[in-house]
Structure formats: C-alpha cells, structure tokens
Amino acid sequence: MIRHLLDKGKGPILAVDADSNSNLNEVLGVEVRSTIGEAREMMKKDVPTGMTKDIWFEYKVQEALTEAKGFDLIAMGRPEGPGCYCAANTLARKCLDLLTGNYRYIVIDNEAGMEHFSRLTTRDVDLLFVLSDSSRRSILTASRIRDLIHELDLRIVREVLVINRVQGELDQEILKELKRQNLELAGTIPVDEEVYRYDLEGKPTIGLPLESKAVQAAGRIFEDYIQ
C-alpha cells in the first residue's frame, strides 16, 4: 500500500508499525532507532528535571520517527518485561494524535487478531483492509473482526476483505461463505514465489518487481479503494 501511494505521487505518508513484534521496517528497508514502547519504559525513570511528561513524550515521538524517501515510519514496539500492552497502546494512540495532522495518508500495520480493536488502538479509520487466507476458519475470523468493530462503535468508514496467498480460483464454498457472512471482498492476492524469495534473501519486499503477481494484484485492489 505504501509503495502504491509512493508510485502515485501521493503523500506525505506516515507508516505506523503497531505490531508488538515490529518488522514493518524490514518490509520497507529502513532502520528503526527507537520505538514508542521504549519511550514508555524510559518515561518511568528518565524524564529530565523541569520538563513535563507530555513535552518529554512529544520529544521522544519525534526522535522515534524514521524519515525515509517519501514516507516516515514510527514503530510501537513492545513494553519490557511481563504485563499488559494496554499502556503501550495508550501511548500509541497519543502518538498518532500528535502526528496525524502532518500527513495526508497514515498506513497502520496492526498485529494479527482482534485485540488491537478492543484496546481501541485503531479507532478512527477511513479504510480498513482485513487480511485472511482462503480457509473457512479465516473467513469466519474476518467476520468476527467486522462484528467487533460494529460492537465497539469505532469510526471505521469502510472495511473490506482481502484474501491472501490464493492458489488458483477461490473455492465456490468460500464464495458462498463470504455471501453468508456479508463480507465485501476487495480482491485476492495469489501465492507468489517472488515474495518468498525476497523474504528468504532478506530483501525488503517493497522492492518487488512490477511483474510480481502479488504486486499487480495488490495494485488493482488499491486502485479501486484508495483515493
């Protein structure tokens, strides 16, 4: 998605790695110096004298921004030691509140699952892509995510499903399940050996060739849904 926006000359773009297992930077080929999770740990013990926590946090947010060609990246990271991620998620929301006014597009990569919705990390979204594989269980999970969004009354203007790593055509039973669950299918992305090869060689997948089947399929979806 970030590559699509860059290729279309749209920006400025903020990429947010909201996964506690931060690795979006590896996909984008940039290095992360610090994370919001680390800032939270430092705030417990290292706020300079004469500086409020709010001002200090704003400073650490700016420090954690990684500037790249055409986009900036910030990573949530994870809290140190045992315990809940709620405090880190609260800081992630505060961080987004500080930064959103500076960017036309904000692309958030969430961890898999439903927890980030219940913690309200993702609460104000124009377009949500829910990713699934082509199994029935994954489709049902996508349906539960949609239902949770509605139960929590989050401001998500539109949510659509993308089915990833598809081999051939979708099974008719899966198409029937999509209809039963009333899920809007934005499109499918096929299995692509080029993606696997890039990952195996440690190459940033943002650099996949235009001929890549996955890149072409994703591009068609983004053309339809991203203005």
> Taking a C-beta distance cutoff of 8 angstroms, is the pair 10, 105 a contact?
yes
Task: Please give the structure tokens belonging to residue 195.
Answer: 């993606």
Neighbours of 71 (CB within 10 A): 22
Q: Is the pLDDT score of 78 beyond 70? A: no
Question: Looking at residues 173-182, what average pLDDT do you find?
Answer: 96
- Angle (deg, nearest 10), helices 193-200 and 213-225: 110
What's residue 104's pLDDT?
A: 93
> Taking a C-beta distance cutoff of 8 angstroms, is the pair 63, 71 a contact?
no
Question: Looking at residues 122-144, what average pLDDT do you find?
Answer: 91
Q: What is the DSSP letter of 207?
A: G
What's residue 119's pLDDT?
A: 59
What's residue 115's pLDDT?
A: 67
User: How many Å separate Cα 23 from the centre of its chain?
Assistant: 11
Q: Is residue 159 helix, strand or coil?
A: strand
pTM of the model: 0.87
Q: Please state which of the ranges 17-31, 129-143, 210-224 shows the lowest mean pLDDT.
A: 17-31
Question: Looking at residues 192-199, what average pLDDT do you find?
Answer: 96
**pLDDT tens-digit series, residues 21-73:** 789 999 999 998 888 877 777 777 777 777 777 787 788 888 889 999 999 99
Question: Looking at residues 127-136, what average pLDDT do you find?
Answer: 95
61 compared with 215, residue with greater pLDDT: 215
Task: Walk me through the domains of the chain, giving residue ranges and CATH numbers.
Answer: 9-114 (3.40.50.300), 123-227 (3.40.50.300)
Question: Looking at residues 136-141, what average pLDDT do you find?
Answer: 95
At position 31, the amino acid (one-letter code) is E
CA distance 170 to 173: 8
Portion of the chain with pLDDT greater than 70, in percent = 87
Task: Please give the structure tokens belonging to residue 1.
Answer: 């998605």
Average pLDDT, the chain: 87
